Amino acid sequence: MNTNFNINNLVRANIKALKPYSSARDEYKNSASGAMVFLDANENPFENGVNRYPDPQQKEIKQKLSAIKKVETNQIFVGNGSDEVIDLAYRIFCEPGKDKVLTFSPTYGMYDVSANINNIEVIKQPLINDFQINLNQLQPYLDFEDVKIIFICSPNNPTGNSINSEDIEYVLENFNGIVIVDEAYIDFSAQASFLKNINKYNNLIVSQTFSKAWGLAGVRVGVAYASEEIVALYNRVKPPYNVSTLNQEAVLNRLDDLEEVSHIIGIILLEREVLISALKTISYIETIYPTDANFVLVKVDDATKRYHQLIEKGIVIRNRTTQPLCENTLRLTVGTATENKKLIEALKSLEKN
């Protein structure tokens, strides 16, 4: 527990004073709606499956997630992708033009983009020693009053490794702002989730997503797990109907098929190992970085050249050469066995040119 953490010192004054929009579906809360006549929201009365507004609180999803993840429903925020989880954190905690956040480079690009949109400065600390946090270098920033959020992406994108959990705990215990642990790739990781710590650390937000292991990138649903107080702030600031009926249904269906999800994760993990073994045979791949995610970062002789050569062969990967500490690296997503074979064949065919 971080005893110096006081959420009231962190929340922006306008958010504290905010009177949230109260939607028709929020004001009338009766789930036994069968016989009711709803003339409160100016909806079209003719049934077509989506003529009614969605549940603004996504109760069914939260109930299912609560059982699966062993957290209370009021410790869950469901967002329009992790993008919304990130953006709302800026809007709740960071005063535009004044406050700052801290990230560890190289990492996920959206922390930066969302900061720029919200006019928030980003302090970027380079990762060291196999892409881990440099706690010595971080130390002075832990006491900066205008640093409101520290983002820790674990497993990290684009490097693939998990961040040492003792280091994450150190940050949680010694930083009086919000720590967002982005666990977009946690289902592929050998390291345990920080979810079990949301009762222990009142400054922790664990961000997860349905976009990767759960196979619903097109659906756009991300989830934040945190203290009841933090989740209540998210609910005040979010657009009232932030997750559509169709998106909620897609997630609910997926949550009913946990076996299928873990089966697919198993296949991807297996394919990751097959892919890594094959990458070891490619002469111009200099380093294969250890990964806890569904992608592999590799260092090659000339990333931009290899990237374009692969495009010509119809294979699109991610060139990460311009990212800090990532010179001449390529990020390869683990595909199906067939896709990975095509990738390896293409990489092999480039060995002589």
Ligand X SMILES: *Cc1c(COP(=O)(O)O)cnc(C)c1O
Question: How many Å apart are CA 39 and CA 48, to the nearest integer?
Answer: 17
Q: Compute φ and ψ for 51, nearest 5 degrees.
A: -75, -15
Q: Which residue in 308, 301, 325 sits closest to 317, CA to CA? A: 308
Question: How many Å apart are CA 64 and CA 110, to the nearest integer?
Answer: 28
Q: 79, 88 in Cβ contact below 8 A?
A: yes
Least distance from ligand X to the Cβ atom of residue 80, Å: 8
54 upstream amide cis, omega within 30 of 0: no
Q: Does 82 bind ligand X (CB under 6 A)?
A: yes
Least distance from ligand X to the Cβ atom of residue 253, Å: 18
Least distance from ligand X to the Cβ atom of residue 322, Å: 17
Region from 6-14, 77-85, 95-103, 235-243 binding ligand X, contact rule CB under 6 A: 77-85
Question: How many Å apart are CA 119 and CA 117, to the nearest integer?
Answer: 6
Q: Does 112 bind ligand X (CB under 6 A)?
A: no
Query: What residues from 151 to 180 belong to the interface with ligand X (CB under 6 A)?
Result: 153, 157
140 upstream amide cis, omega within 30 of 0: no
Complex with ligand X: residue 83 or 121, whichever CB lies closer: 83
Q: 216, 189 in Cβ contact below 8 A?
A: no
Complex with ligand X: residue 122 or 282, whichever CB lies closer: 122
Query: What residues from 206 to 265 belong to the interface with ligand X (CB under 6 A)?
Result: 209, 211-212, 217, 222
Q: Does 81 bind ligand X (CB under 6 A)?
A: yes
Q: Does 108 bind ligand X (CB under 6 A)?
A: yes
Region from 17-25, 34-42, 81-89, 318-326 binding ligand X, contact rule CB under 6 A: 81-89
Least distance from ligand X to the Cβ atom of residue 153, Å: 5
Q: Mention every residue, 6+ apart, whose C-beta is less than 8 A from residue 256.
A: 64
Region from 126-134, 204-212, 279-287, 301-309 binding ligand X, contact rule CB under 6 A: 204-212
Q: Compute φ and ψ for 235, nearest 5 degrees.
A: -65, -30
Widest pairwise Cα distance in the chain: 73
Cα–Cα separations (whole angstroms), residue 275 to 101, 114, 194 = 36, 33, 28
Q: Does 56 bind ligand X (CB under 6 A)?
A: no
Complex with ligand X: residue 176 or 189, whichever CB lies closer: 189
Q: Does 184 bind ligand X (CB under 6 A)?
A: yes
Q: Which residues would be at the binding site for ligand X (CB under 6 A)?
A: 81-83, 108, 153, 157, 182, 184, 209, 211-212, 217, 222
